[in-house]
Amino acid sequence: MAEKFEGKLEQLDANRWRIPKGSQPSMRVDGVIFSSADLIDDVISGGGPKQVANVASLPGIVGASLAMPDVHWGYGFPIGGVAATDVNDGGVISPGGVGYDINCGVRLLRSNLDADDIRPQVEKLTEHLFADIPAGVGVSGPFTFNNKEMRKILERGVGHLVSCGLADRADAEFTESSGCLDQADADAVSPQAVKRGADQCGTLGAGNHFVEIQYVDEVYDTRAAAAMGMRMGQVAVMIHSGSRGLGHQVCGDYLRTLRSAPGKYGIELPDRQLVCAPVNSNEGQQYLAAMRAAANFAWCNRQLLAVQVRKSMSQFFGARDTDAALRQVYDVAHNIAKIETHTVAGESRKLCVHRKGATRAFGPGHRELPDALKRLGQPVLIPGDMGTASYLLLGAQTAMEQTFGSACHGAGRVMSRKQAIRHAKGRRIDAELARKGITARARGRTGLAEEQPDAYKDIDAVVRCVCSAGLAGKVLRLRPMGVIKG
């Protein structure tokens, strides 16, 4: 439940607000929130500032405790929070800084279809995908993996699916970190977590996860769009899902395992949900190994969802399957912690960067980007609510300087799921969307109510703030045509 922030909030400029270091006794650094004036009331009412200040107390934190304009209350860390700790100076890793849905993320696929050509078929196409894509709480999919295969997925990620013929090299190349975090260890993942994931790789889940048929309705950077194979009127598919029950179990397991770590290492915390351990401790390394394995599972989950979407659309369009063929634009993670090198106060330092509800936004030339994207920068995928729009941006050098190469991950909630259900009472959300030309289907009874457009901030305002702050630049906007939810 969101707590009221009683401290000081100072406006630095049109897009940044500061919580001074002394606002809470335990703060080691300032808090900095990226927000425009028209979003700040939602930021405050969502409880973000209180948690930003709490995160500023973590040992080894450098720069500032950061929040993106989509920030709102989360477990320990705010959703939309970014924090970097110095690995070699007592920096900690906190499961709350990653979240329960480890490597929840977004994948964008492009087709050769035009929106005007398929618009009359969108309702049937949505129904077809809805029948084919496994979605909903506890739902299993067509892929089941034994323990030996699960180990390969957990430790090799998308690379294993390439070797199995379930992904091609372009799928891996245009996935963040090539779809695999090194030093993942399947032995750090509990048998219960493995069991929960064995039949869930290639499933959508529920909550805010979705498969969405979209079309490009605005291009801001024609050259960058063309370089990524995108153009006006083009049909695309966006997939939003994560590590399912496996990631949830990993998080829960390590929240319990690390419960005694703060006392053991003399760490005082303003909120017990910030439970953590030094990155270089045995406990910290075990959690990192398990989190990396869950992240690899999540990338495989989105890859296998893409396999099913490709197959389903090919079957639907029949002879036109060449036009419907879906090529990967990019896949980004937004619940993850990574060991990265960044410049802090003119010095290169090895950091553990927590991004919870935040997307990596590396600028042009970064060594971790694939060659085809090096001159452009990191693609940043920002889904909005199912009634408005999503955006494709490119990371900028300013993000490297101000946010450890990070940007927002979505619109950000302004209503809890319970509030959204109450707000939807007596309404037909599917009918409201249909009047906008959007076909929406959900497995769960409350799925559409929980995710109604009113439950989210204005995605256009959030993206304007990110771009105005120089963290990323707009490439194009995508509008929804058909939506599938759990």
| Nearest of 330, 286, 12 to residue 175 by alpha carbon | 330
Percent of the chain scored above 90 by pLDDT?
90
Q: What is the pLDDT of residues 383-439, one digit of tens each?
A: 999 999 999 999 999 999 999 999 999 999 989 889 999 998 889 999 999 999 999
Catalytic residue ranges: 409
User: What integer is the mean pLDDT of 270-279?
Assistant: 97
Tokens (6 digits) for 406: 């990070």
Determine what percent of the chain falls in helix, strand and coil, rounding each to the nearest 5: 40, 25, 35
pLDDT at 272 over 80: yes
State the Cα–Cα distance between residues 131 and 378, nearest whole angstrom: 34
State the Cα–Cα distance between residues 401 and 105, nearest whole angstrom: 24
pLDDT of 474: 98
User: What integer is the mean pLDDT of 188-193?
Assistant: 98
For the chain, what is the mean pLDDT?
Answer: 95
Q: What is the pLDDT of residues 223-260, one digit of tens each?
A: 999 999 999 999 999 999 999 999 999 999 999 999 99
Confidence at 8, pLDDT banded by 50, 70, 90: confident
Confidence at 486, pLDDT banded by 50, 70, 90: confident
- Angle subtended at Cα 210 by Cα 77 and Cα 380, rounded to the nearest 5 degrees: 60
pLDDT of 174: 98
pLDDT of 3: 72
Domains of the chain, by residue range, sit at 10-485
pTM score? 0.96
pLDDT at 450 over 60: yes
pLDDT at 1 over 70: no
User: What integer is the mean pLDDT of 164-174?
Assistant: 96
pLDDT of 319: 57
State the Cα–Cα distance between residues 323 and 312, nearest whole angstrom: 13
CATH-assigned architecture of domain 10-485: Alpha-Beta Complex (3.90)
Q: Which residue is it, tokens 């590396």?
A: 362
pLDDT of 165: 96
Better-scored residue on pLDDT, 3 or 95: 95
State the Cα–Cα distance between residues 423 and 418, nearest whole angstrom: 9
